[in-house]
Structures are given as structure tokens and as C-alpha cells.
Amino acid sequence: MDAASTTSERGFNINLSARTISIAVLVFAIGVSGYLSYLKLSNEKAFCVAGETFDCGTVLNSVYSEVGGVPIAYLGLATNLIVISLLLLEDRISLLAANNVLLVFGIVLFAFLFSMYLIYVQAELIGSFCPWCLSHEAAISVLFALSSWRLYKFFTEPI
């Protein structure tokens, strides 16, 4: 499999697979997208880094912060919840066991491409960055790398 197994000083066997690391990254991403969703829902001001290039309010309230009237933060949270659910259910549902690597990769590929678009929007169209948004986009980038690794292993390891 794609597991890297090591033994700690106390003798615990630590099994780190791309799937396990993906779940950990998604927990972080859910926290960030949950916070951004809360901000959109409550109209609270974001806790943001002070500086010329960082302005969370401008980014979170721009015309680009919604797609078809739905806040992007909600879409990010929903995507993260779907992907973590798929990963957690992978061993329990036979259909997912056979096809989940491809399904997760497809969803994460779309999320990654959309995240790259959002970075472009912040840099070129808005002219300000939101550190919360960038941290979520970084998490999606890590998730994309992990999903790509799982896809590679899926096609190269014998059954």
C-alpha cells in the first residue's frame, strides 16, 4: 500500500498513509472553511494579518466571494466534508473501496484548479490577499499532491 510505517521511541507503530495524512489535512481545511463560512453567515470581521497586501474584509466581501449567490466559503466547506466522508467510508463501502481513489482525485482536482483561480483573483483582480483563504488553498494543494500520489499508486501497484 502507500503506508510508511515507523516505530516511535516508546515502541508505538505509527502508520502514515496518504489517506491518513489527507484526513488530517482535511480536518485543518474544515476548520478554516468553517471559520470562513461562519464569517459569511454572521457578517463578523475576520481576524486578519495587518499589512498592505492583506485585507480579509476586501477579499471576503468582494464580488468574487460568491458563485451564483452561494458564498465560496460554503462551497469549500461542503467539498471538504464530502471528501473527508469519502475517505472515512472508503473501507466500509465496497463501491468506494473499488473506485474511491478516482472519485476523490476528481473532486480534489476540481478544488485545486478552483483554488488556483482564487489565488489569481486575489492577486490580480482584487489586489489583496486573505491569509485564511490562502491557508485553505494551501491545504487543498497538499491534498491534491496526496490524491495524485494515491492515484499513481492505484495504477502502478499490483492488485
Grid coordinates belonging to 85: 466522508
Q: What is the mean pLDDT of residues 56-76?
A: 93
pLDDT value at residue 4: 54
Whole-number percent of the chain with pLDDT over 90: 67
Residue with the three cell numbers 452561494: 70
139, amino acid identity: A
d(CA 82, CA 69): 21
Q: For 18-30, how does the pLDDT look when each residue is reduced to its tens digit (9 = 90+)?
A: 999 999 999 999 9
pLDDT value at residue 16: 75
pLDDT value at residue 1: 46
∠ Cα 88 144 20 (to 5°): 35
pTM: predicted TM-score of the whole model, two decimal places: 0.86
d(CA 143, CA 139): 6
Nearest to 60 by CA among 135, 110, 116, 126: 126
140, amino acid identity: I
Fold assignment, 22-156: de novo design (two linked rop proteins) (1.20.1440)
pLDDT value at residue 101: 92
Grid coordinates belonging to 63: 464580488
pLDDT band at residue 13 under the 50/70/90 scheme: low
For residue 59, count CB atoms less than 10 angstroms from its CB and return exposed for 0-12, middle for 13-18, buried for 19 or more. buried
pLDDT value at residue 103: 94
Q: Where are the domains of the chain?
A: 22-156
pLDDT band at residue 45 under the 50/70/90 scheme: confident
Q: What is the mean pLDDT of residues 50-67?
A: 89
Q: For 92-149, how does the pLDDT look when each residue is reduced to its tens digit (9 = 90+)?
A: 888 888 889 999 999 999 999 999 999 999 999 999 999 999 999 999 999 999 999 9
Residue 14 has pLDDT above 80, yes or no: no
- Taking the CA of residue 14 as centre, how many other CA atoms within 13 Å lie in the half-sphere pointing to its CB? 8
